Amino acid sequence: MNQFTEKEPYILSPDLKYLREKFDELRIHKKDFNTANCMIITGESGSGKSELAKRYLKIYPTFQDQIGTKQPVLHLEIKMANTVKDVLVSLLVGINDPQMGNGARNASELFTRFVRLSKVIKLELIILDEVQVIIERRSEKVISGIGDLFKDLIKETGIPIVFMGMPWARYLIDSNPQLNGRIAIRHTMPTFKVSEQKKFEGFASLVKGLAKSYELSNAIDTSNKELLLRLFAFSKGNVRQVSRLLRSLFIFCTINSKQPDSKLLADIVESLGYSEAINPFKQKITDVVIEENLTESDFLFSHRSKGNSIVAPEIAKFRITKELKIYSII
């Protein structure tokens, strides 16, 4: 078996392929037509947004030419955004500013430095990840200021920005009319469902791709609908969760020199803290409960001070008949 010690397999679904092509399109429009069309991608945690950006960065890494360092793509995960200055410092660190964002008297000087350095390194695309952090527990004044910063960066540099985050990341864009006007493409990461045949087939394709990458195809038979339903019940159709589970099966079999077998999933899930009563690989198929999202998660600004401002998605629940048909229970 191959040893996935340095990287996990990456399944380029039609949706992810489309987004990668759009990233290329934004860069080409910048280079060839000096047009800064921007994009926003929203989706639930584990839907594949961040991994897409990381993989794209590997295709277009920082490199050295005869003149100096060139960085075609900046992928920045926003971790602290209390002020406009915080965001500018993070951006400067992301493009390897020799002063690491230090030595400036104010945000204006940092802004000017970023604009100048972005031209030196020939920056073509900025991907901002976890944009919802700007929204959470920030005052309207701070949110407005950071929105203005991004608008001004796009205007001064001509560099397109891809904004990525949880569903409520869109509020940053929607709250600033001029920034909103810069968004040419809006994309919501699709969610897998058992209640819709096409989306369930998409889930099966994901599982098949992951199983092939981990050389588990003989153990994970995607023509086995019962196995697919159990996998969906465990993962709720979440890309990250199903990938981790199959990776755990691969690692377990490698370490213990065992032949891969889907029956081992029951023990692996049990080792994660699932009791037999809620372990979808140990339950009778008619006792398994499947959940899928009906709505997106959201954010209530009025509840920020109470600490419970994130609203979970509404959930639909299903059970399974002996004939492997699903029926709604809520």
Please give the angle made by the CA atoms of 205, 211 and 212, to the nearest 5 degrees. Answer: 90
Q: Which residues, other chains included, contact 264 with Cβ-Cβ below 8 Å and sequence gap of 6+?
A: 219, 249, 252, 253, 258
* Residue 161 confidence (pLDDT): 97
> Letter for the amino acid at 165?
G
* Residue 5 confidence (pLDDT): 45
Report the b/e string of 125-141 with b at 16+ CB within 10 A: bbbbbbbbbbbbebeee
pTM of this structure: 0.89
* Residue 307 confidence (pLDDT): 55
Which CA distances in Å does 75 have to 55, 71, 122, 215? 10, 10, 15, 31
Instruction: Give mean pLDDT in consecutive 10-residue pieces for the chain, a chain of 330 residues.
Output: 52 85 94 91 92 93 92 94 91 93 90 96 96 85 92 96 95 93 94 95 93 92 96 94 93 92 94 91 96 92 63 94 93
Question: Looking at 112-189, which runs of residues are DSSP E strands?
Answer: 125-129, 161-165, 183-188
* Residue 137 confidence (pLDDT): 67
d(CA 60, CA 87): 23
d(CA 134, CA 111): 18
- Count of other CB atoms within 10 angstroms of residue 120: 13
pLDDT in tens, 89-148: 999 999 999 998 888 889 999 999 999 999 999 999 999 999 999 988 678 888 999 999
First to last CA, the chain: 43
- Count of other CB atoms within 10 angstroms of residue 37: 17
d(CA 94, CA 77): 9
